[in-house]
Amino acid sequence: MSTNRIILGLVLLLLLIFPAFNMPYPNTFLIILFLYILLAQSIDLLMGYAGYINMGHICFFGIGAYTFGILWNKGLHLYISFVAGGVAAVLFALLISFPFFRLRGHYFALATFALVKLMEHLTLNLPSLTQGSDGLMVLQGNRMIPMYYLSLFLVVAVIGVTYYITRSRLGLAMASVREQEQIASDFGVPVQRTKTTAMVIAAAFAGLMGSFYTWYTIFINPEMVFGIEIALMPLAMAMLGGSGVIIGPVIGAIFLFIVEETLWTRMAYLHTAAYGLVILLVGLFMPGGLVRLRPFRRALMRVGLYQEI
Amino acid sequence: MEIAIQLVIAGILQGGVYALAAFGLSLIFGVSDVLNLAHGEFLMLGGLVTFLVFEATGLNPFLTGLFMLPMTFFLGYMFDRLLMRPLATKKEHVRIMSSVLVTLGAAITIEDGISFLFGAEEKGVDYSLPSFFWGDIYISYLRLLAMVMIAALTVGIHYYLKKTFTGRALRATAQNLRGAMLVGVDTRVIRSVTFGIGSLLASIAGVFYVVLLSIAPDMGLSVTIKYLCIIVLGGLGSLIGSLVGGVLLGLTESVVSYYTPHWGQTAAFLMLVGILLIRPKGLFGK
Amino acid sequence: MKKKGILLCVGLLIAFTMVASDLALAAEPKEILIGSTLALSGRFKGIVGEFDKLAKAWTDLVNERGGIYVKEYGKKLPIRIQIYDDASKQENARKFYEKMAADPNIAFFLGPFSSFISNAAITVAGKHKIPMQMVCANDSVLFDKYNYWRVGTLKPAEDEWRCLIPFYKAKGGLKTFATITMDTLHNKGATRGFEESLEKNGFKVVYSEIAPPPTKNFAPIITKMKKANPDAVCIEALSMGFSIGFLKQMREAGFKPKEVILGHVTKHVIDALGPDAENITGLAYFFDGTTQDHKDYTEICRRSGFTWGEFMESSIRYWAYTRVKAAIEKAGTLDRKKIMDTLWDMKIKIMGFDSYVVPTGYGTLGTWPCQVKGGEFVSIYPVEKGLKLHKFKNP
């Protein structure tokens, strides 16, 4: 058995039996971490592989969150509402893929960013549907253990799917779109379909995680799911960890999360500034992300975890 | 009828303030090809310094703004020199990412730092000029001033770009980096100069903000997004575009807010997205 | 290269241990430890960011007097308030309260700032059965569902503006009101309650508007309000940027109603408007007095480096702290259930005013009118005093 499989297996095993240790705080800790990892990983599907920086990725998350909340409050069964969150996000992705993929580069990035603001405003302005600024509250469904396993499952799924994509024709198509879209199209690569597929997959995961989030935090409001900070976070994490490498966003999410945690509990003041400084330094000195740093890369390669398209 | 005129005037004037800030961003983007997420911070800093000076000495905020210009230029120049220059040589894909990380990190750090040093609450300056009344319609002199200023700036920058050597060097860098280097333009310095000018413009807008409304240390990122959207709407790299974009946004907000305040901001963004989909490069994009 | 790799791994290891050490259980202290989070950064920083100093000032004051007497141990114990920064986010508050719930040294909780963050906090309190004295939280969202483990300090948001009614009835001269409210749960509740009271008491609401928090351009709204020609304009917003923007634009528009009332008025508004802030009427969670509570409150504000006018919410904090202290003393123990029972049942006087809890969980701290005079806040309660001091903004 190759090293990477052993490592992955061990990590997975540890995570699976973790709840048995019965530590509520680390449990919460891990669930949030899984959330971050999933968001970072899903944004990278379109960013690192297809080369489109979707700064509005969080819209999928928010739409999933609200869809779940609205449907569950109306009495729809829990599982159906949950899946509906993902479905709504996918539908939204399909909706915007045609017009938005006509834009390139910076235009695409900024237009999608505008989408976030748009969604935030729409949510605020349709209070009959979303309770607007009051926020949406769902029934108390705070059961730690099923929640833990659900989020773990989603994270493993998104990483697994990303892995399979890198080995599939879709992955190859995405890479060609990233490198030279015009030439790829000339050579017969179904560019539009490739991009849309990538976005849809990313949206599905983000949307499901959105459903989970509402279930978990019981209360959401537009700022929480469409706010600037949460919108920029997956972006920063994926870039910081290493965009285009499967394990990159995971590392990025873990890194930023730990930095956040340690800074927060150690420094009463200025921890956000320190956080910003860390992001700045990484951007300046490690532009390919942490994973592409030579020592890291070597270590990961030796272990077989360094996979990019 | 009067109300319509009032709304249009208010909208245009508000748009003028928006355009002022967006200008700088457009310039920076045109030349350096960088998404500057820290632009709003310069606006905030401009407003902050004005506030502090006003608190301490009561000096006319516009005078403070004037004296502040060299300082913000220097800050912007150094920002680019230290933080953005190393990124210029990277591949495009990597460059976009690292510039996002660097400017975002800088923005977060500045916001928190200022918040810590000067307090996080809103700061406003009490400086007002009487409004000009025409029946029931009022026009605020201050906003008119902002409009005049931006018009003057547009003309000024236009001439700067066309006639002066630095200006032409700037345009050359924006059009073709390699070409400009070939003819002897020190593109690195030009980029820093552009950044300085852009930040300068932002700080002027900041003065208007602190006088007309108020500023707070954490306003940076949200205004930056708005301005990014404006320059995209107007077309990246086009100065006229950001002017038109800003005014258009102000107008839409004003008119729609009259009927339903809630949809005012939403309408503006809907319009932005709509225009982008019809003209993917923005209104005046190259 | 290998050294760099080792360095990185070591760095990571250190980081991990640091985090892990927070999870380890601490030794037994000999003090009363109260856990809470505050918005020391983020969008609420401007309102409560200095309150960690306030907490320290209060605990210092209490400890200087020997601490709090706990009958169960037969002696006075010092008190300490543990504060984490929730950065104005619900998520973080929940995380920190969970963390504190896992710490057996924490006796119980104090609430964070704002209703919706408190919402996250009380779910933790309820789950782990830890008493929570909420502080700045009075939205119906928190009290609609009964939760034994939380009580509030404040009256419902709907009641906040009602203290003005007896005053304006006595003063006369105002018939019509216009309101502009920021779109948040709290603000809307406050305005709703006020408008109901106004109508019931013979006043008329001629214009009512709700605007989203980031609104910067109020010209359309002001134009409409001008047409309605109200005697008084009421601005209810948690964000000072909103209030300042509106007031400045009123000035630009030459809109000078007889009376201007600002729901959450602070010193920063005064600074932003200069002499134009004179005679703005507002609401404070405080009124002048000479009780020991008043002296203590002024003292801790002084020690924290501000006056009550700069941070109005500080007096709510003071009430919450005093309730906590009284509950411990009355219960005579740190047992959680007994503390919670006491918090529900006790009735004490703070600053000469009754403090107790109603069956839904709301407290009794309301507001009292005040007015800006000479760049300072002057309390204009009771009505007799107010009638002497109060002046209309634009008579």
Residue B140 has pLDDT above 80, yes or no: no
Q: State whether the Cα torsion C115-C120-C126-C131 is positive or negative.
A: negative
> Could you tell me if C273 and C223 lie in one domain?
yes
Tell me how close the Cα of B205 comes to any Cα of chain C, in angstroms: 14
Nearest Cα to C100, choosing from C80, C72, C115?
C80
> Could you tell me if C148 and C171 lie in one domain?
no
Q: Tens digit of pLDDT per residue, chain A (309 long)?
A: 577 778 788 888 888 888 777 776 777 788 889 999 999 999 999 988 888 889 899 999 999 999 999 998 888 888 899 999 999 999 999 999 988 888 877 778 888 888 888 898 888 888 888 877 777 777 766 677 788 888 999 999 999 999 889 888 888 888 888 888 888 888 888 888 999 999 999 999 999 999 999 888 877 888 788 887 788 889 888 888 888 888 889 999 999 888 888 877 777 678 788 888 888 888 888 777 788 888 888 888 777 777 776
Cβ-nearest to B262 among C42, C212, C274:
C212
What is the predicted pLDDT for the residue at C10?
60
> Could you tell me if C239 and C374 lie in one domain?
yes
Backbone angles phi, psi at C108, to 5 degrees: -160, -170
Range with top average pLDDT, B266-275, C212-221, C240-249: C240-249
> Could you tell me if C41 and C144 lie in one domain?
yes
Residue C10 within any structural domain of the chain: no
Tell me how close the Cα of C102 comes to any Cα of chain A, in angstroms: 7
Cis check: omega of the bond before C359, within 30 degrees of 0: no
Residue C27 has pLDDT above 70, yes or no: no
Range with top average pLDDT, C26-40, C49-63, C261-275: C49-63
> Can you tell me the distance from the alpha carbon of B228 to that of B224, in angstroms, rounded to the nearest whole number?
6
Query: E strands, chain A, where?
Result: 136-137, 219-220
C-alpha Rg value of chain C to the nearest Å: 23
What is the predicted pLDDT for the residue at C43?
73
| pLDDT average, residue stretch C309-324 | 88
Nearest Cα to B144, choosing from B198, B201, B200, B208?
B208
- Provide the pLDDT confidence category of residue C23 given band limits of 50, 70 and 90: very low
> Could you tell me if C143 and C214 lie in one domain?
no
Among chain B residues, CA nearest to C223: B3
In this prediction the pTM is 0.83
Which residue, among C1, C85, C139, would best test binding to A if mutated, counting the most A CBs under 10 Å from its CB? C85
Tell me how close the Cα of B216 comes to any Cα of chain C, in angstroms: 8
- The CATH code of the domain that includes C80 is 3.40.50.2300
Q: Chains meeting C at 3+ CB pairs closer than 8 A? A: A, B
Residue C28 has pLDDT above 50, yes or no: no
> Could you tell me if C384 and C254 lie in one domain?
yes
Structure tokens at A35: 């959330």
> Could you tell me if C174 and C258 lie in one domain?
yes
- Flag whether the ipTM exceeds 0.90: no
What is the predicted pLDDT for the residue at B18?
85
Residue B72 has pLDDT above 60, yes or no: yes
> Could you tell me if C274 and C378 lie in one domain?
yes
Residue A46: partners with Cβ closer than 8 Å, 6 or more residues away: A52, A53, A54, A57, A195, A198, A199, A202
Residue C16 within any structural domain of the chain: no
Residue C6 within any structural domain of the chain: no
Residue C301 within any structural domain of the chain: no
Would you call C89 an interface residue with chain A, using a CB distance cutoff of 8 Å? yes
pLDDT digits (tens, 9 = 90+) for C152-207: 899 888 888 988 898 898 888 889 999 999 988 788 889 999 999 999 998 999 99
What is the predicted pLDDT for the residue at B232?
81
C-beta atoms of B124 and C268 within 8 A: yes
Task: Give the type of residue at A160.
Answer: G
What is the predicted pLDDT for the residue at B99?
83
């990725």: which residue's tokens?
A57
C-beta atoms of C215 and B131 within 8 A: no
Task: Give the type of residue at B201.
Answer: L
Residue C166 within any structural domain of the chain: yes
Among chain C residues, CA nearest to B215: C241
pLDDT digits (tens, 9 = 90+) for C282-310: 888 888 888 888 899 989 999 988 887 78
What is the predicted pLDDT for the residue at C236?
92
> Can you tell me the distance from the alpha carbon of C375 to that of C90, in angstroms, rounded to the nearest whole number?
35
- Name the 3-class secondary structure at C395: coil
CB pairs under 8 A between A and C: 95
Residues of chain C with Cβ-Cβ distance to A265 below 8 Å are: 22, 84
> Can you tell me the distance from the alpha carbon of C44 to that of A168, in angstroms, rounded to the nearest whole number?
48
Would you call C278 an interface residue with chain A, using a CB distance cutoff of 8 Å? no
What is the predicted pLDDT for the residue at B281?
74
Cα-Cα-Cα-Cα torsion B90, B96, B102, B105, nearest 10 degrees, comes to -160
Burial zone of C316 (CB within 10 Å; 0-12 exposed, 13-18 middle, 19+ buried): buried
> Can you tell me the distance from the alpha carbon of A280 to that of B99, in angstroms, rounded to the nearest whole number?
9
Task: Give the type of residue at B241.
Answer: G
What is the predicted pLDDT for the residue at A77?
87
- All structural domains of chain A, each given as residue ranges with its CATH number in brackets, are 3-14+26-302 (1.10.3470)
Residue C129 within any structural domain of the chain: yes
What residues 63-122 of chain B have any CB closer than 8 A to a CB of chain C? Answer: 112, 115, 119-122
> Could you tell me if C138 and C151 lie in one domain?
yes
What is the predicted pLDDT for the residue at B112?
87
Among chain B residues, CA nearest to A103: B280
Cβ-nearest to C90 among A217, A293, A294:
A217
Residue C192 within any structural domain of the chain: yes
> Could you tell me if C249 and C186 lie in one domain?
yes
> Can you tell me the distance from the alpha carbon of A36 to that of A250, in angstroms, rounded to the nearest whole number?
8
What is the predicted pLDDT for the residue at C29?
42
What is the predicted pLDDT for the residue at C59?
92
| pLDDT average, residue stretch C39-68 | 86
C-beta atoms of A125 and B266 within 8 A: yes
Residue C146 structural domain: 31-156+312-364
Residue C167 within any structural domain of the chain: yes
Q: How many domains does chain C have?
A: 2
Residues of chain C with Cβ-Cβ distance to A117 below 8 Å are: none
Residues of chain B with Cβ-Cβ distance to A228 below 8 Å are: 221-222, 225
The stretches of C45-139 forming alpha helices (DSSP H) are: 45-48, 51-64, 90-101, 115-128
Residues of chain A with Cβ-Cβ distance to B262 below 8 Å are: 121, 124-125
Mean pLDDT of chain C: 85
Residues of chain A with Cβ-Cβ distance to B86 below 8 Å are: 284
Among chain C residues, CA nearest to A270: C41
Q: What percent of chain B has pLDDT over 90?
A: 9
> Could you tell me if C212 and C148 lie in one domain?
no
- All structural domains of chain B, each given as residue ranges with its CATH number in brackets, are 2-278 (1.10.3470)
> Could you tell me if C251 and C379 lie in one domain?
yes
C-beta atoms of A277 and B105 within 8 A: yes
Cβ-nearest to B104 among A118, A121, A279:
A279
Report DSSP state, residue C231: S
Residue B119 has pLDDT above 50, yes or no: yes
Residue C24 has pLDDT above 50, yes or no: no
